[in-house]
């Protein structure tokens, strides 16, 4: 957000700032009211501000504004600091004070107008802009701001009036033509806007205008006309990137893939093109598995070119790393993300990306080690602690996992979703560790906070049924899970198993049939339970068939041995 705000407000040019300082220091008002200490602090504040030491500069200018409340420049630069910090409320207050102290200062009023505009106080912004315009009629940059403001207010006649003023003073050019085109689009006069731009392109030809027309015709599937305009743009500037992209897409749509890739390879390799735009485009391409499979070598080259052009862009790096993993090059993907952490050692997101990919790859030892490293830099980060705990669980280090998840609870106060999830995981982990009493306690805590927590309800109910305890309570909890998720094969299986334990095998069979429909036929445990119910109902041949299927899916369950004993008893 701060970056966006900073780019919105244009800063005073360095030369103008220096002139302002010299003028202020030599003015009678400054000399009479000031002191050498004040002068020194003022210049030191500006030096720190230009060096990017925002906090130190803020301290100086805040002190000056408090000690010398009539010092308009201190209020102005304090406002600039607040803008950099994204605190527009305080920025507005400080700028308004600077304008009050020096109503004739162009920069003060421009800054106030832009703050009003950024905070959607459009009436106030308009009032200030019109005031500035009356005394600065030749400032074209001011007019551009005002056109934007009136367009946002949908006062298109006023925006066009100001545009007419610009063209009277400076003449027509690409910028004015495209501005008029955009205003007409805002007026929902699309046919007139296109016709205007076509005629304007004859008077003021430019690659940008030709490409805008190409994009329009491509959007309405007039590919031939679109390609003509893209070709025109490239004839004026063979390196004009938007036209290069447009003509490449035109070839893709036509199925001329050799030409498409011929344009797309250099486009992806061009470091001057916005990396996020290219990343978003590649996401769309990769979302078409058939296209990727057909042209895998070319897609691979595009991804290599993209990363090669922007190796330090975090989003590009992550997308490239995921692609490497998906194409069986996980070692390269992990190295890319490790390099990304080196590029951004103080940022959390690159670390989170590496941990997420490590989790996806099920590298549990690495996940634990990398989580520990992440927690050194970002102590108390709940996501990193949870990932560490998951790694420990996967390696059956239940005591370590319990301690890890217990450490989350005090950190998650006020975060009910994290608290509930952690309590449920602790229930599962204590059960894995053989501590049923603690497991049930944490399941109960989970359900008290979230009565519809299906996973906790299911696991608690199933474990009770395995012990043959509180079966009616278990049945009610399990029934609630299938009300919440009626197509969940695991929950259906639990409910059926409890019915079986209660002797209700006919009902259990019907529920297990539903479980089969939703994927239970691919789960050895569910097949085993179905066979048990069938056997109890006397359908022994069918039971042995399902036991055979279960044993093939997971021989570790010991089903073959169980079946052997049952057959001997017959």
Mean pLDDT of the chain: 89
Is 43 domain-assigned?
Answer: yes
Residue 9 per-residue DSSP state: S
Pick the last residue of a domain from 72, 96, 120: 120
Residue 140: what pLDDT? 67
Pick the last residue of a domain from 87, 120, 153: 120
Residue 379: what pLDDT? 94
Q: Annotate 37-76 with three-state secondary structure.
A: HHHHHHHHHHHHHHHCCHHHHHHHHHHHHHHCCCCHHHHH
Q: Are 167 and 179 in contact (CB under 8 A)?
A: no
Pick the last residue of a domain from 85, 120, 155: 120
Is 158 domain-assigned?
Answer: no
Average pLDDT over residues 491-519: 95
Is 212 domain-assigned?
Answer: no
Q: Maximum distance among all alpha carbons in the chain?
A: 114
Average pLDDT over residues 261-272: 94
d(CA 244, CA 313): 22
Is 12 domain-assigned?
Answer: yes
pLDDT in tens, 308-339: 999 999 999 999 999 999 999 999 999 999 99
pTM of the model: 0.65
Residue 1 per-residue DSSP state: -
The candidate with the shortest Cα–Cα distance to 354, out of 343, 372, 368, 367, is 367
Is 554 domain-assigned?
Answer: yes
Domain count, the chain: 2
d(CA 496, CA 328): 41
Is 535 domain-assigned?
Answer: yes
Which secondary structure element, helix H or strand E, spans residue 547, and what is its range?
helix 540-553
Is 565 domain-assigned?
Answer: yes
d(CA 520, CA 423): 28
The candidate with the shortest Cα–Cα distance to 372, out of 404, 409, 412, is 404
Is 182 domain-assigned?
Answer: no
pLDDT in tens, 30-56: 444 446 788 888 899 899 888 889 899
Report the sign of the C-alpha dihedral through residues 482, 484, 486, 487, in that order: negative
> Terminal CA-to-CA distance of the chain, rounded, Å?
75
Q: Distance between alpha carbon 132 and the CA centroid of its chain, in Å?
A: 39
Average pLDDT over residues 407-431: 94
pLDDT of 60 > 60? The answer is yes
Which two structure tokens, joined as six digits, stand for 378? 């970002």
551: CATH? 1.25.40.10
Which of 134-148, 359-373, 480-494 shows the lowest mean pLDDT across its residues?
134-148
Q: Distance between alpha carbon 248 and the CA centroid of its chain, in Å?
A: 28
Q: Are 499 and 476 in contact (CB under 8 A)?
A: no
Q: Domain limits at 38?
A: 1-120
pLDDT of 22 > 90? The answer is no
């Amino acid at each position: 957000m701060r970056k966006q705000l900073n780019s919105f407000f244009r800063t005073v040019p360095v030369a103008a700032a220096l002139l302002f300082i010299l003028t202020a220091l030599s003015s009678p008002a400054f000399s009479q009211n000031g002191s050498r200490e004040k002068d020194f602090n003022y210049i030191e504040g500006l030096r720190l501000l230009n060096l990017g030491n925002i906090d130190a500069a803020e301290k100086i200018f805040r002190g000056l504004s408090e000690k010398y409340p009539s010092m308009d420049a201190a209020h102005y630069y304090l406002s600039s600091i607040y803008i950099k910090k994204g605190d527009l409320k305080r920025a507005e207050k400080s700028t308004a004070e600077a304008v009050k102290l020096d109503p004739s200062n162009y920069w003060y009023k421009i800054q106030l107008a832009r703050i009003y505009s950024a905070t959607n106080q459009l009436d106030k912004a308009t009032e200030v802009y019109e005031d500035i315009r009356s005394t600065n009629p030749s400032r074209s940059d001011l007019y551009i701001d005002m056109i934007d403001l009136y367009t946002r207010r949908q006062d298109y006649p006023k925006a066009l009036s100001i545009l007419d003023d610009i063209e009277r003073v400076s003449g027509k050019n690409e910028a004015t033509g495209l501005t008029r085109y955009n205003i007409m689009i805002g007026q929902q006069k699309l046919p007139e806007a296109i016709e205007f731009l076509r005629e304007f392109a004859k008077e003021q030809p430019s690659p940008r205008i030709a490409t805008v027309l190409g994009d329009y015709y491509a959007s309405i599937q007039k590919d031939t006309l679109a390609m003509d305009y893209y070709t025109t743009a490239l004839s004026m500037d063979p390196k004009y990137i938007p036209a290069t992209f447009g003509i490449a897409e035109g070839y893709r749509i036509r199925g001329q893939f050799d030409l498409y890739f011929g344009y797309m390879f250099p486009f992806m390799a061009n470091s001057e093109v916005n990396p996020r735009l290219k990343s978003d485009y590649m996401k769309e391409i990769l979302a078409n598995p058939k296209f990727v499979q057909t042209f895998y070598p070319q897609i691979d080259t595009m991804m290599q070119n993209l990363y090669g052009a922007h190796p330090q862009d975090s989003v590009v790096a992550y997308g490239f790393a995921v692609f490497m993993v998906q194409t069986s090059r996980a070692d390269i993907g992990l190295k890319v993300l490790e390099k990304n952490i080196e590029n951004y050692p103080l940022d959390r997101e690159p670390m989170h990306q590496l941990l997420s990919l490590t989790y996806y790859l099920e590298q549990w030892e690495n996940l634990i080690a990398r989580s520990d490293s992440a927690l050194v830099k970002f102590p108390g980060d709940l996501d990193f602690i949870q990932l560490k705990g998951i790694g420990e669980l996967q390696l059956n280090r239940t005591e370590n996992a319990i301690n890890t998840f217990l450490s989350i609870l005090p950190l998650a106060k006020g975060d009910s979703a994290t608290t509930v999830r952690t309590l449920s995981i602790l229930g599962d982990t204590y059960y894995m560790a053989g501590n049923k009493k603690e497991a049930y306690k944490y399941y109960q805590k989970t359900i008290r906070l979230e009565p519809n927590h299906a996973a906790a309800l299911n696991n608690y109910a199933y474990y009770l049924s395995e012990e043959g305890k509180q079966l009616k309570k278990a049945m009610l909890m399990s029934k609630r899970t299938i009300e919440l998720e009626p197509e969940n094969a695991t929950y259906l299986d639990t409910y059926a198993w409890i019915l079986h334990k209660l002797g209700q095998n006919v009902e259990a069979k019907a529920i297990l049939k539903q479980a089969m429909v939703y994927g239970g036929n691919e789960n050895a445990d569910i097949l085993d339970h179905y066979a048990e119910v069938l056997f109890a109902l006397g359908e022994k041949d069918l039971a042995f068939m399902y036991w055979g299927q279960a044993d093939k899916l997971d021989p570790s369950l010991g089903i073959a041995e169980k079946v052997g004993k049952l057959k001997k008893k017959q």
